[in-house]
Amino acid sequence: MNPDPEENRTGPVLLYDGTCGLCNHAVRLLLRMDRRGVLRFAPLQGAPAQAWLRAHGLPTDNFDSMVLVRDWNGEKGVGGGYSLRTDALVAALEACGGAGHALAWIRFIPRALRDGCYRLVARLRFRLFGEWKPRPLPRPEWASRFIPDYPP
């Protein structure tokens, strides 16, 4: 039975580079921090993320950026829409609450400086962290936190 593509599609969703080792480690860290299970995740290369990016006029071939969709089921432009790069990271940390909210202190660093560092790390991420080699999640229940991929 194919998963329903509309399943698990409410609330904030973090779109990330599914092939990047650093990005996947960041997702696993956010999964551990988000004890309330608020955040959902989808790789930028997957059909759900690609459809969302197209619908919102964003590039579908730029995997150097993290995108936080504030409300996956929300209307375009309603409810704050989306955040990119370090703003996405700050929004994801705040959504986690607890320690994540405390780590979101980086929001006080000027965006130009934050995003400049982000772009530098994005260019070097494969050299520094390598390509992600898929492996089982530490907690099987986390699988439900990912937007299921479906055929385009």
At residue 80, the pLDDT reads 55
Record the pTM.
0.85
- Dmax (CA) for the chain in angstroms is 48
Q: Are 36 and 97 in contact (CB under 8 A)?
A: yes
Total tally of structural domains belonging to the chain = 1
Q: Rounded to whole angstroms, how far apart are CA atoms 150 and 111?
A: 35
103 — pLDDT class (breaks 50, 70, 90): confident
pLDDT in tens, 30-45: 999 999 999 999 999 9
Is residue 144 domain-resident? no
Q: Rounded to whole angstroms, how far apart are CA atoms 93 and 101?
A: 6
pLDDT at 99 over 90: no
Partners of 16 in beta bridges: 43
Is residue 122 domain-resident? yes
Is residue 143 domain-resident? no
Side-chain-side CA neighbours of residue 61 (13 Å): 0
Is residue 54 domain-resident? yes
pLDDT at 5 over 80: no
> What token pair was written down for 125?
């991420």
User: What domain range includes position 84?
Assistant: 13-134
pLDDT in tens, 66-87: 999 998 876 544 445 999 999 9
Is residue 102 domain-resident? yes
DSSP state of 92: H
Is residue 148 domain-resident? no
pLDDT at 107 over 60: yes
Q: For the residues 109-129, what does the mean pLDDT come to?
A: 89
Is residue 1 domain-resident? no
Is residue 141 domain-resident? no
Angle of helix 21-33 relative to helix 85-96, nearest 10 degrees, comes to 30
pLDDT in tens, 13-33: 999 999 999 999 999 999 999
